């Protein structure tokens, strides 16, 4: 291509904003596409996703179609925008073939894993939950499958041991911004490489139960899960049938029956796991504010030696 490509950008959450900003700094963004406004908060106020809120501030044309499949009006708008290529970043909708075929260079997707590992909606969270030490960003050519298209560029990113999904998401957003700009600069030189299906793993969307503590797991696995679900649904445990939110978890010395409270002090509660133990710094009972774990234990007369309720996922 003798000139820089014109880009249509598809994205919705705050994660996608640095990617949009990086593309806009170097290329002409001819259309921004985000999900429709949704009710938010107790008042259910109709609120645009962050990308939709930002686009008008940047003077960029915006579309928020409710659906893409069979939407002739949107297809015409994308075609008429003159986009040479489209970029998706956490857009949140499956793209039909009729849309994928409109731009001359198709769609490039920024995926936050080293494909074919962690295909799906929550690669950042599951990489941490599973104890990975390295992840990264893949720029891929989008097809009709779930993150199955050929790979164009990849870049690794070490996961710091203390990072939660929040810190990792921020780091990957910055990485994705730099990598997609590199891909757009070298659009004609990119050589797609098919994914190795034998190496594929999946990262399904999280559900509330993914945040429930599995005390039977090793201590490091309990902490990894806490780190992975930090953004949502957060970490939940049960004591005497009552639901509690836990935060500030780290691996600690100790051994006992899974869920057994081994000690209580100013730093928090030490609780045994399947092997090893964890330290819990903060507890939040339902409908109450977070409080130091020791304060909660004293207020509820929770004794050393008593146990948190055990929970395990239902058999499939």
Give tens-digit pLDDT for 41-59.
Answer: 888 889 999 999 999 999 9
Percent with pLDDT over 70 in the chain: 99
CA angle 225, 246, 229 (to 5 degrees): 30
User: 């507890």: which residue's tokens?
Assistant: 283
Full-model pTM: 0.95
Residue 25 lies in a domain: yes
Residues 111 and 20 grouped into a single domain: yes
Please tell me the predicted confidence (pLDDT) of residue 58. Answer: 96
pLDDT band of 198, cuts 50, 70, 90: very high
Q: How confident is the model at residue 194 (pLDDT cuts 50, 70, 90)?
A: very high
Verify that 167 and 240 share a domain, yes or no: no
Say if residue 42 is in the same domain as residue 162.
yes
Instruction: Assess whether 194 and 213 both reside in one domain.
Output: no
Query: How many percent of the chain have pLDDT more than 90?
Result: 92
pLDDT of residue 312 exceeding 90, the answer is: no
CB-CB contact of 129 with 202 (8 Å): no
pLDDT at 176 over 90: yes
In a domain, residue 305? The reply is no
Report pLDDT for 314. Answer: 79
Residue 114 in marked binding region: yes
Question: Is the confidence at residue 106, as pLDDT, over 80?
Answer: yes
Residue 316 confidence (pLDDT) = 67
Asked if residue 196 has pLDDT above 70, the reply is: yes
Q: Is 249 annotated as a binding residue?
A: no
The pLDDT value given to residue 107: 97
- Same domain? For 193 and 221 the reply is no
Q: Are 98 and 75 in contact (CB under 8 A)?
A: yes
Q: Please state, in angstroms and as integers, the Cα–Cα distance from residue 81 to each residue in 25, 72, 78, 97, following that order.
A: 19, 14, 5, 18
* Structural domains of the chain, count: 2
Q: What is the pLDDT of residues 292-305, one digit of tens each?
A: 999 999 999 999 99
Q: How confident is the model at residue 40 (pLDDT cuts 50, 70, 90)?
A: confident
Residues 284 and 247 in one domain: yes
In this structure, the answer to whether residues 67 and 160 fall within a common structural domain is yes
Q: Are residues 160 and 235 in the same domain?
A: no
Query: In the predicted model, what is the mean pLDDT of residues 190-206?
Result: 96
- Please check if 250 is assigned to a binding site: no
Q: What is the pLDDT of residue 145?
A: 85
Q: Do 101 and 164 sit in the same domain of this protein?
A: yes
Token reading at 306: 């008593």
Classify residue 213: in a domain, yes or no: yes
Same domain, 218 and 192: no
Q: Residue 229 pLDDT more than 90?
A: yes
As a whole number of angstroms, the distance between CA 90 and CA 13 comes to: 7
Residue 31 annotated as binding site: no
């Amino acid at each position: 291509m003798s000139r820089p490509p014109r880009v249509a950008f598809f994205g919705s959450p705050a994660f996608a904003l640095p990617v949009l900003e990086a593309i806009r700094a170097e290329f002409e963004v001819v259309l921004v596409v985000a999900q429709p406004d949704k009710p938010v908060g107790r008042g259910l106020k109709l609120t645009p996703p962050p990308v939709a809120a930002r686009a008008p501030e940047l003077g960029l044309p915006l579309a928020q179609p409710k659906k893409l499949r069979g939407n002739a009006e949107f297809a015409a708008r994308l075609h008429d925008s003159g986009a040479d290529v489209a970029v998706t970043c956490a857009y949140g909708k499956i793209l039909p073939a009729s849309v994928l075929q409109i731009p001359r260079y198709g769609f490039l997707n920024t995926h936050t894993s080293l494909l074919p590992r962690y295909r799906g909606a929550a690669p950042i969270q599951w990489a941490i939950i599973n104890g990975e030490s390295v992840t990264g960003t893949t720029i891929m050519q989008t097809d009709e499958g779930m993150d199955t298209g050929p790979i164009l560029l990849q870049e690794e990113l070490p996961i710091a041991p203390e990072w939660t999904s929040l810190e990792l998401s921020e780091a990957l957003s910055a990485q994705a911004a730099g990598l997609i700009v590199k891909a757009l600069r070298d659009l004609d030189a990119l050589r797609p490489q098919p994914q190795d299906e034998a190496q594929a793993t999946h990262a399904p969307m999280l559900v509330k139960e993914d945040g429930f503590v599995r005390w039977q797991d090793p201590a490091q696995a309990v902490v990894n899960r806490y780190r992975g679900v930090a953004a949502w649904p957060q970490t939940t445990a049960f004591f005497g049938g009552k639901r509690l939110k836990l935060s500030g978890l780290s691996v600690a010395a100790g051994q006992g029956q899974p869920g057994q409270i081994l000690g209580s002090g100013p730093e928090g509660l030490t609780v045994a796991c399947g092997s090893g133990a964890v330290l819990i710094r903060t507890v939040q009972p339902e409908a109450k504010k977070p409080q130091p774990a020791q304060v909660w234990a004293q207020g509820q007369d929770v004794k050393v030696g008593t146990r948190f309720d055990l929970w395990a996922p239902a058999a499939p």
